[in-house]
Structure 1
Amino acid sequence: MTAPSTHPSYTLWQIVLYMLRLGSLGFGGPVALVGYMHRDLVEQRGWISESDYKEGIALAQMAPGPLAAQLAIYLGYVHYRLLGATLVGIAFVVPSFLMVVALGWAYVAFGGLQWMQSVFYGVGAAVIGIIAISAFKLTKKSVGQDKLLWAIFLTLAAVTVITESEVAWLFIAAGVLVWFWRAPPEWLKKGGVAAALSAQLPPAAGLATSFDPALLTQIGLFFAKAGAFVFGSGLAIVPFLYGGVVTEYHWLNDKQFVDAVAVAMITPGPVVITVGFIGYLVAGLPGASVAALATFLPCYLFTVIPAPYFKKYGKRPGVVAFVDGITAAAVGAITGSVIVIAQRSITDLPTALLAVSATAVLWKFKKLQEPVVVIVAAALGLALYPLMHP
């Protein structure tokens, strides 16, 4: 059902246009976005093989940066290498960037977005249904009947719910565990465990902050740090952004920061695009451009640089086992994040009913487009929020 890796059944422009559409209409954050890519590119169109998709998920989880954007970049790389990765990455990010810049302009021009709370009230609840369906499909496809993978899946789901964050080293540990269990390396069979201790990850390069830069340079350095050193989904970057944007630099106050996160949730594309809105509030269009570029450039480099090695060695038994372990961990964390997001988005009976209804509708009508659900939820939010919060 899937095309051979060396003979793509689609053109470069077809996948670029697909990512442009996903970036324009893909609601639900990273959990839903990676689910859409699997459904559309692996299951329905057969453009990407299951193994290539799993390699992309594993690489995106191993490297810092936003999950959905890195997966999109890797899928662009699969058949069209550097050009594909570059064009796909741009197509995926630019639509939501333009939207948040426009919202940033409106926010500044009209003194806030009072209607946003009403819209997010409905959309935030409906998004739970969207990502729950995506998480279910990913679990069914990636974990299967394997008891070890199920143990990893459940562990990571529980850790994500308890800590409300993604613990990066557990992804690596899960990969190593499955690797050693299924295809132990020769040195392990021979008892050479000490050899493992000599392996080191390359040290992360620090960012120079000893000088007093101009505002745009300061923005660039801060958001580059956010993109380079924060693991997990777009939601995982939010606490890091709060610490710098509100607490350290005092660029925004608490209300403005919450509004920035809400903007990211009610617009399609990657949640991390909130950096564009924040940058706009701090320094206008130049600030938005610098913040977005600084955040996404590291994730692009962390994807395309190791990608050739993933392609070259990805079919070896040890690597396949490692990827399976990381994939199970990733899907477990994604499932746990559904619960975390639900705790924040479901605040009363109407939002609970919206979440359940969205899940039921998407389960029943499998071909229904998610933007339709989002639009209906936004309209309901506009009607219900004033009644529930007079």
Structure 2
Amino acid sequence: MSDARTVSFGEALRFWLKLGFISFGGPAGQIAVMHRELVEQRRWISERRFLHALNYCMLLPGPEAQQLATYIGWLLHRTWGGIAAGVLFVLPSLLLLVGLSWAYLVYGHVGWVAGVLYGIKPAVAAIVVQAVWRIGGKVLRSPRQAPWLWAMAIGSFVAIAVLGLPFPLVVLSALALGWLGGRFAPAQFLAGSGHASAKAAAAPAAPALIDDHTPTPAHARFSRGRLLRVLLLGGVLWALPMAALLAWQGAQGVLPTMGVFFTQAALLTFGGAYAVLPYVYQGAVVHHGWLSGPQMIDGLALGETTPGPLIMVVAFVGFLGGWHTEVLGPETRFWGAALAATVVTWFTFLPSFVFILAGGPLVESTHGQMHFIAPLTGITAAVVGVIASLGVFFLAHIAWPVPGGPADFAALAIAALAALALVCFKLGVIPVIAACGALGVLLKATGWAA
């Protein structure tokens, strides 16, 4: 560590639990929250170490924000620190979605609930806009200083938003261009800050607990034996629950089928939740019939407006599948559905823990090496464009909820106010979401909202 300060395991646990309840806005918003809390305010990790870890997580299948939390928790407090950070990032979302899924099935559409959702959706779009500003400002200097990075950010936006190219292709292209950039324009690919640089120069930040030049801790150094142990344990933690489910229900049972299906989904989620949703829709709705198409869309709305990774929509899918198939019998439908949601969550997130705990030491060994930094910086620049495309998608969705219909100016006004509050007035995510939800209820009640 860079100085005498330490972070106790208990203090870290309290923060990771808090993060699990405030991590709204999908991966973009969650990464922005972690950056604000861990880099800017608490100074647990430096800018460059944060971005180095983020770039690795962006390469992996699975929820990058949850993997980033796991990575930083592992750096701070070894394996149990990473497990605690990753679990607490997901657990509040799982509990909330189980409760909301039950309320959705039992009580249906309630007026005030529709109003809350109406107000929160524009707030989510504003959180994404804030994330573009924060992360883009940390990576992109002025276009004159870093034209290559700006071109990659704009190119990735066009590739995703206009051409509809797959995210893995965008990432691999950014990786290749970053490697070339590191050879021919290395100064552009050094981790730096954009619109934050002036502030940094005027008021240098205090040293971070894990700073740019902090030596890699002993537990984070690569060991072949440790790598094999992590892979073996990950395999056991997958195989034992699957064996129990197969012994209970057989190969055609609902829960073993869900376990296999969502393991496959976890290994295909390059590009985040939106990249894998078509796969989940095709399997869960069309092939297995665990829920209907409209229910899948409603589940996505719930996933967007609850904390935790957006891929947690799979818990909603599992809950409805367990409810409709009555896995524990008709008299215990809730507990059967909750069990199905838990099984789905386990098999979806287990690979993420293995990726971080197995690959983390390899990533730490590349810290500060230009031939690794440049490709990963290129990915970060491309991710800025991808997040911007997500923001445009959200804004278009709230502006025209019915394609071809009239514009919803009330929703756009909420999004503008939320963005102003977040970017200009630096208000917290929770107060902004709460205010937008209350405003949505008011507008629905008075007839001002569609």
For Structure 1 versus Structure 2, the TM-score category normalised by the shorter chain is 0.7 to 0.9
| Matched residue, 2:167 | 167
SS in 2 for 1:313: coil
One-letter amino acid of the structure 1 residue matched with residue 171 of structure 2: F
Give the counterpart of 2:415 among 319, 330, 355: 355
| Matched residue, 2:261 | 222
| Matched residue, 1:258 | 297
Give the counterpart of 1:306 among 333, 351, 359: 359
Give yes or no for contact 2:268–2:276 (8 Å, CA) kept in 1.
no
Q: Does 1:72 align with 2:69?
A: yes
One-letter amino acid of the structure 1 residue matched with residue 415 of structure 2: A
Structure 1 alignment gaps of length 5 or more: 185-207
Structure 1 residues 126 and 21, CA, compared in 2 at 3 Å: closer, same or farther? same
Give yes or no for contact 1:126–1:358 (8 Å, CA) kept in 2.
yes
TM-score by length of structure 2 reads 0.76
Give yes or no for contact 1:153–1:332 (8 Å, CA) kept in 2.
yes
SS in 2 for 1:322: helix
Q: Does 1:370 align with 2:429?
A: yes
Distance 2:163 2:280 in 1: 18
Give yes or no for contact 1:68–1:233 (8 Å, CA) kept in 2.
no
Task: Please state how far the C-alpha of 1:383 moved relative to its aligned partner.
Answer: 2.8
One-letter amino acid of the structure 1 residue matched with residue 279 of structure 2: F
SS in 1 for 2:289: coil
One-letter amino acid of the structure 2 residue matched with residue 144 of structure 1: R
Give yes or no for contact 1:63–1:303 (8 Å, CA) kept in 2.
no
Distance 1:166 1:66 in 2: 17
Deviates more, 1:134-143 or 1:165-174: 165-174
Task: Please state how far the C-alpha of 1:301 moved relative to its aligned partner.
Answer: 1.5
Distance 1:233 1:22 in 2: 19
Distance 1:240 1:388 in 2: 37
Q: Does 1:282 align with 2:335?
A: no
* Structural RMSD (CA): 2.4
Structure 1 residues 9 and 162, CA, compared in 2 at 3 Å: closer, same or farther? farther
Structure 1 residues 324 and 23, CA, compared in 2 at 3 Å: closer, same or farther? same
| Matched residue, 2:443 | 384
Identical-pair percentage:
30
Give the counterpart of 2:47 among 46, 50, 55: 50
Structure 1 residues 363 and 177, CA, compared in 2 at 3 Å: closer, same or farther? closer
Distance 2:166 2:111 in 1: 32
> Within 5 Å, which residues of 2 pair with 1:210-249?
212-249=251-288
Q: Which runs of 4+ in 1 moved over 6 A?
A: none
Task: Please state how far the C-alpha of 1:116 moved relative to its aligned partner.
Answer: 4.1
Structure 2 alignment gaps of length 5 or more: 185-241, 243-249, 323-336, 401-407
| Matched residue, 1:105 | 102
Distance 1:7 1:69 in 2: 28
| Matched residue, 1:345 | 398
SS in 2 for 1:305: helix
Task: Please state how far the C-alpha of 1:175 moved relative to its aligned partner.
Answer: 2.2
SS in 1 for 2:365: helix
Task: Please state how far the C-alpha of 1:8 moved relative to its aligned partner.
Answer: 6.6
Give yes or no for contact 1:25–1:268 (8 Å, CA) kept in 2.
yes
Q: Does 1:293 align with 2:346?
A: yes
Structure label with greater radius of gyration: 2
Structure 1 residues 34 and 7, CA, compared in 2 at 3 Å: closer, same or farther? farther
Give yes or no for contact 2:156–2:386 (8 Å, CA) kept in 1.
yes
One-letter amino acid of the structure 1 residue matched with residue 291 of structure 2: L
Give yes or no for contact 1:28–1:127 (8 Å, CA) kept in 2.
yes
Give yes or no for contact 1:123–1:266 (8 Å, CA) kept in 2.
yes
Task: Please state how far the C-alpha of 1:111 moved relative to its aligned partner.
Answer: 4.0
How many residue pairs get aligned? The number is 363
One-letter amino acid of the structure 1 residue matched with residue 377 of structure 2: D
Give yes or no for contact 2:23–2:308 (8 Å, CA) kept in 1.
yes
Structure 1 residues 216 and 16, CA, compared in 2 at 3 Å: closer, same or farther? same
Distance 1:80 1:313 in 2: 20
Give yes or no for contact 1:156–1:329 (8 Å, CA) kept in 2.
yes
Distance 1:116 1:248 in 2: 31
Structure 1 residues 383 and 237, CA, compared in 2 at 3 Å: closer, same or farther? farther
Task: Please state how far the C-alpha of 1:11 moved relative to its aligned partner.
Answer: 2.4
One-letter amino acid of the structure 2 residue matched with residue 317 of structure 1: M
TM-score by length of structure 1 reads 0.87
| Matched residue, 1:196 | none
Give yes or no for contact 2:124–2:305 (8 Å, CA) kept in 1.
no
Deviates more, 1:65-74 or 1:375-384: 375-384
| Matched residue, 1:193 | none
| Matched residue, 1:156 | 156
| Matched residue, 1:195 | none
Deviates more, 1:97-106 or 1:355-364: 355-364
| Matched residue, 1:96 | 93
Distance 2:14 2:32 in 1: 18
Give yes or no for contact 2:148–2:181 (8 Å, CA) kept in 1.
no
Distance 1:32 1:151 in 2: 23
Distance 2:371 2:9 in 1: 31
Question: Deviations 1:275-320 (Å, cap 9, x if unpaired)?
Answer: 1122111111110001111111112222221111000122211011
